[in-house]
Amino acid sequence: MSDDTAFDDASPIAVVGVGAVATALARRLSARGAPVRAILTRNETAARTLADRVGAPIASAEAGALPADIRLVMLCVPDDAISDVATALAAVSHPWTRTLVGHTSGARTAEALAPLAQKGASPFSFHPLQTFTPDTPPDAFDDIVVGIEGTPDAVSAGRALARGLGARPLALTARDKALYHCAATLASNGLVALMAVVEEILGAADLGDRNASAVDLMAPLVEQTWGNLASGTPEGSLTGPVARGDEATVNRHLDTLRDDAPNLVPLYAALSTEMARTAVRGGQLDADVAENLLHRLREVLQSSPSESDS
Ligand SMILES: NC(=O)c1ccc[n+]([C@@H]2O[C@H](COP(=O)([O-])OP(=O)(O)OC[C@H]3O[C@@H](n4cnc5c(N)ncnc54)[C@H](OP(=O)(O)O)[C@@H]3O)[C@@H](O)[C@H]2O)c1
């Protein structure tokens, strides 16, 4: 299937919002031949700008401007705005019983669209497992996972939508969605926070004339590690002092953090705990050796002042 014929038989679509996800989604839909008929958002000028980019004839700040032939409405608004937008749309006279309504939040389920479900619409959540900024190109949908959850008919339509975008659908239950989103948050935002911590630790060290950022310094190490992970498993990719059961080195790290970045001691202990568990699972670390190390790390965690104490 070529890019511009993926949505040959698709019904007219409305996108609500003109932010990072809305822009990438509307552009991708349009590029693959989907009839994006309307862009709705709070600011009519912003709606018109995106509508012109994707060839949508309708651009409006009014929910009532939703054309009657729209059969798919995609809400790409902040999580906290989904219910309000759903309520505003539900007040519009529209053949809702023949309309699918999705939102792109990772944290919220289809339940957030309850006002529209009460009108007979088929609700679903459709979360692209990707990070988007206002400049993210539409090909950011290439081969990504889209987590989909909702009523069976809506999930089925969501799967087709994901495939049409060039992505891989992943059907989720409402309960699993929370775990899925927690994992995604750690994979993306957790990694960024970890690199910020690396930066903080290097900042405490006297590395002389530093021209490179922590990200630059660590890039080859991180890239090689990522390559190992991509072609293997976490268990098979783990190296370092914890995997070797080298408690003396772990203690030296803890001592230096206590002196120079005490706020990071609990994080180091918590991550080292997970490294030890991973190394035991992978058979690299003997369970008895690990138990001594884990005991030591538990003591560190229990004796670390919590944020609320400081
Ligand atoms: N960005 C990501 O990496 C990413 C990835 C996956 C999923 N998501 C999810 O996708 C959704 C949208 O995120 P985003 O990053 O695209 O947000 P965003 O860039 O902040 O854009 C949000 C859009 O919604 C509009 N909006 C806000 N309140 C509204 C309201 N009450 N009525 C109508 N429009 C309203 C905003 O208009 P104004 O300009 O007037 O405020 C803006 O156009 C969120 O649920 C988010 O969790 C985001």
73 pocket-lining for ligand 1 (C-beta < 6 Å): no
Is 233 within a domain? yes
The alpha carbon of 18 and the centre of ligand 1 are apart by a number of angstroms equal to: 7
- Token output for 159: 């799967």
Pair (139, 249) in one structural domain: no
Mean pLDDT of 273-285: 97
DSSP3 helix / strand / coil % (the chain, rounded to 5): 60, 10, 30
Tally of CB atoms within 10 A around 238: 22
Is 260 within a domain? yes
85 pocket-lining for ligand 1 (C-beta < 6 Å): yes
Ligand 1 atom having least distance to the Cα of 18 = 43
pLDDT at residue number 307: 57
Mean pLDDT of 31-58: 97
Is 160 within a domain? yes
184 pocket-lining for ligand 1 (C-beta < 6 Å): no
Pair (154, 249) in one structural domain: no
| Residue whose CB lies within 8 A of the most ligand 1 atoms, among 77, 105, 145, 177, for a mutation test | 77
Query: Could you give the CA distance from residue 277 to residue 298 in angstroms, rounded to a whole number?
Result: 13
pTM recorded for the entire structure: 0.88
Pair (102, 203) in one structural domain: no
DSSP-derived letter for residue 190 is I
Mean pLDDT value across the chain: 94
β-pairing, 145-150 vs 122-128, is antiparallel
CB 75 within 8 A of CB 104: yes
Pair (209, 263) in one structural domain: yes
Is 32 within a domain? yes
What percent of the chain stands above pLDDT 90? 90
pLDDT, tens digit, 9 for 90 and up, residues 124-142? 999 999 999 999 999 999 9
The alpha carbon of 20 and the centre of ligand 1 are apart by a number of angstroms equal to: 7
Pair (37, 89) in one structural domain: yes
Ligand 1 atom having least distance to the Cα of 77 = 24
The alpha carbon of 309 and the centre of ligand 1 are apart by a number of angstroms equal to: 36
132 pocket-lining for ligand 1 (C-beta < 6 Å): yes
Q: Give, in degrees to the nearest 5, the angle at Cα 240 between 216 and 195.
A: 30
pLDDT, tens digit, 9 for 90 and up, residues 213-254? 888 899 999 999 999 999 999 999 999 999 999 999 999 999
Is 31 within a domain? yes
DSSP-derived letter for residue 127 is E
pLDDT, tens digit, 9 for 90 and up, residues 194-221? 999 999 999 898 776 666 788 889 999 9
pLDDT at residue number 1: 45
Is 178 within a domain? no
60 pocket-lining for ligand 1 (C-beta < 6 Å): no
Structural domain that includes position 206: 193-309
100 pocket-lining for ligand 1 (C-beta < 6 Å): no
pLDDT at residue number 88: 98
pLDDT at residue number 4: 66
pLDDT, tens digit, 9 for 90 and up, residues 51-107? 999 999 999 999 999 999 999 999 999 999 999 999 999 999 999 999 999 999 999
The alpha carbon of 134 and the centre of ligand 1 are apart by a number of angstroms equal to: 10
127 pocket-lining for ligand 1 (C-beta < 6 Å): yes
pLDDT, tens digit, 9 for 90 and up, residues 102-111? 999 999 999 9
Q: What secondary structure does DSSP assign to 133-189, as a single string?
A: -TT--GGGGTT-EEEEEESHHHHHHHHHHHHHTT-EEEE--HHHHHHHHHHHHIIII
Mean pLDDT of 178-206: 94
The alpha carbon of 104 and the centre of ligand 1 are apart by a number of angstroms equal to: 9
The alpha carbon of 237 and the centre of ligand 1 are apart by a number of angstroms equal to: 37
Pair (167, 20) in one structural domain: yes
Pair (12, 58) in one structural domain: yes
Pair (7, 130) in one structural domain: yes
